Amino acid sequence: MTLSTEKFVEYANRVETEVGRVIVGQGEVVRHVLVSILAGGHVLLEGVPGLGKTMLIRTLGQALDLKFSRIQFTPDLMPADIVGTEILSDEDGKREFRFRHGPLFANLVLADEINRATPKTQSALLEAMQEASVTVAQQTYQLEQPFFVMATQNPLEMEGTYPLPEAQLDRFFFKINVNLPDVGEMVEILDRTTGKETPAANKAVTGADIVEMRALARTVPIASHVKEYIAKLMLATHPEDPNASPLVKKYVRYGVSPRGGQALVLGAKVTALMAGRYNVAFEDVHAVAKAALRHRLLLNFDGLAEGVKADEVIEELVRARMNDEG
């Protein structure tokens, strides 16, 4: 490994800067998406149409010099439409089946409105996310690294959709909520997108750099009491845990799995490095807690009926655990 920590910070800042030339605001969203890429995870973006989700991933593809593909999920989309299929080819008089790669064979894949596809098609994508490979006709094809999926969901128009099951949601590293821009950002968006020139991002890092950055992020040390804090935080999301907060006990059906803990640790490590630090701190954990946990917390009927947000539960938990640490 040759990448230095200074280089890491420099590359990360460069990427953010390049993305920032195209995407207005959404600083936290960009940061979390970048953290997820550098931690080796996939992201689920939830936001109303028109907030720049597709543009974000496309711009990231430009900044990271990675192959980009977009899949628009529809109810009639078949698994073969995304992973690829075997077609009969006739070359040099020889007829044979040849595997034609689907749009999944890219570095950055945008799976737009993933909840509109059937569970069968969803599972084909999710298998690729988990295994970084695709199996077609008993042949396994490895996906090129880095492989990163950004799936989107529209919180409106949920009729006729196929919500991702909890087990599948758990495979996403982060779930990021994309919110409406404020007035200033809106003005800037209008300026940039309705003017003569449309800005574009320049290449900031290569795929190989991303791989090295990922490896370096994993080496960031984490103190034992911080690890213990993360473990306790995770366990406290389960209503039967003695340290569970009142909100958890009242509104949570099932808490976070160990994947959530992994996401917290890796996300915190990347965040620490991006802050120019060489160890994980509590504030790094707090910075990624909501993104890492909100989609892994299953609310019960009471919580859903009363409109309780997973973020509220996570905030209360983080506060309670920090008080205990203090």
Residue 268 sits in the site that holds other proteins (CB under 8 A): no
Amino acid at 271: T
Distance, first Cα to last Cα, the chain: 38
SS (H, E, C) 56-96: HHHHHHHHCCCCEEEEECCCCCCHHHHHEEEEEEEECCEEE
Residue 211 sits in the site that holds other proteins (CB under 8 A): no
The correct pick among 179, 278, 302, 319 for binding other proteins (CB under 8 A) is 278
CB of 274 to other proteins, least distance (A): 13
Number of other residues whose CB lies within 10 A of the CB of residue 104: 23
* Closest alpha carbon to 122 in 80, 158, 164: 164
Question: Would you put residue 232 in left (φ > 0), alpha (ψ -120 to 50) or beta?
Answer: alpha
Residue 38 sits in the site that holds other proteins (CB under 8 A): no
How long a stretch of residues is the chain? 326
Residue 299 sits in the site that holds other proteins (CB under 8 A): no
**Which range binds other proteins by CB under 8 A, 76-84, 166-174, 222-230, 301-309?**
222-230
CB of 3 to other proteins, least distance (A): 10
**Which range binds other proteins by CB under 8 A, 27-35, 142-150, 271-279, 297-305?**
271-279
Residue 215 sits in the site that holds other proteins (CB under 8 A): no
CB of 282 to other proteins, least distance (A): 7
Between 12 and 176, name the residue whose CB sits nearer to other proteins. Answer: 12
The correct pick among 19, 23, 114, 216 for binding other proteins (CB under 8 A) is 216
CB of 284 to other proteins, least distance (A): 8
Give CA–CA dist 293/318, Å, rounded. 11
- Token pair 């996570």 in the structure block, residue: 314
Between 286 and 294, name the residue whose CB sits nearer to other proteins. Answer: 286
Query: What are phi and psi for residue 177, nearest 5 degrees?
Result: -90, 125
How far, in Å, are 134, 152, 211, 284 from residue 48 at the CA level? 31, 10, 32, 28
Residue 326 sits in the site that holds other proteins (CB under 8 A): yes
Between 5 and 145, name the residue whose CB sits nearer to other proteins. Answer: 5
The site for other proteins, by CB under 8 A, has a size of 20
Give CA–CA dist 12/22, Å, rounded. 16
Beta-carbon contacts of 185 under 8 Å, excluding residues fewer than 6 positions away, are 24, 25, 26
Residue 110, strand partner residues: 70, 150
Residue 5 sits in the site that holds other proteins (CB under 8 A): yes
**Which range binds other proteins by CB under 8 A, 66-74, 128-136, 224-232, 311-319?**
224-232
Residue 4 sits in the site that holds other proteins (CB under 8 A): yes
The correct pick among 98, 225, 249, 319 for binding other proteins (CB under 8 A) is 225
Residue 9 sits in the site that holds other proteins (CB under 8 A): no
The correct pick among 282, 286, 289, 299 for binding other proteins (CB under 8 A) is 282
| Buried residues in 134-167 as b, exposed as e (16+ CB within 10 A) | bebeeeebebeebbbbbbbbbeeeeeebbebeee
Residue 73 sits in the site that holds other proteins (CB under 8 A): no
Task: Identify the H or E element spanning 11.
Answer: helix 5-22
Residue 265 sits in the site that holds other proteins (CB under 8 A): no
Please give the residue ranges that form the binding site for other proteins (CB under 8 A): 4-5, 216, 219-226, 277-283, 325-326
